[in-house]
Amino acid sequence: MSFGPATWEVSPGFCSYDDAVARMQERAAAIHAGTAEELVWLVEHPPLYTAGTSAKLEDLQEPERFPTFKSSRGGQWTYHGPGQRIAYVMLDLTRKHGNFAARDVHCYVRALERWVIATLADFGVKGEIRQGRVGIWVVNGAEEQKIGAIGVRVTRWVTWHGLALNVDPDLSHFGGIVPCGIREHGVTSLRALGVEASMAEVDAALQRHWSGIFG
């Protein structure tokens, strides 16, 4: 079965993490079977912490603060919560997307980074990548701060999980973990950088730049 461009979906309200994982697994299996289209699914979660496959227990500093979940995505501890746009991306990597080759997970992750950087530029924010650090960073004064996190899983060449972009979350909530295992740098958001952007405006920018990155 042949499908066109990825379907886009925005879920209103807050989506539970368990429900999100179950739906991603179901959709990824259907994409692999050729019975469903690729999907970009935009959600918000209630406050929670997730542990990626490389997470260290000592990096969970306040285990009673919010619910915690063991995640099958790559990476370490991260926070999800209101004001943070989560983009769960389910693509068939046996197909070519944009300018990166099929079956190239490294290039797929780089494409996710470029997607966020292009989106941030619409709001006058310069996003950057750093060698050895997955994710998107901004230079704020003398400090480097993370504004976007990436954690993916690929099952039978179908991607799931994705990225988290800080629009206007409560940044104090990150204090219960060592985000992504990085102690020497902080986190930021569009709001903390002085950008008054609505979630709908961020969603529109994400969709606007999708085809330029992923074709």
Tokens of 211: 């085809």
CB 22 within 8 A of CB 43: no
- Bridge partners for 155 per DSSP: 158
CB 26 within 8 A of CB 196: no
Sign of torsion, CA 131 136 137 138?
Answer: positive
- Bridge partners for 159 per DSSP: 154
Does the active-site annotation cover 180?
Answer: yes
Type of residue numbered 162:
G
Out of 20, 150, 164, 180, the active site residue is 180
Active site residues: 180
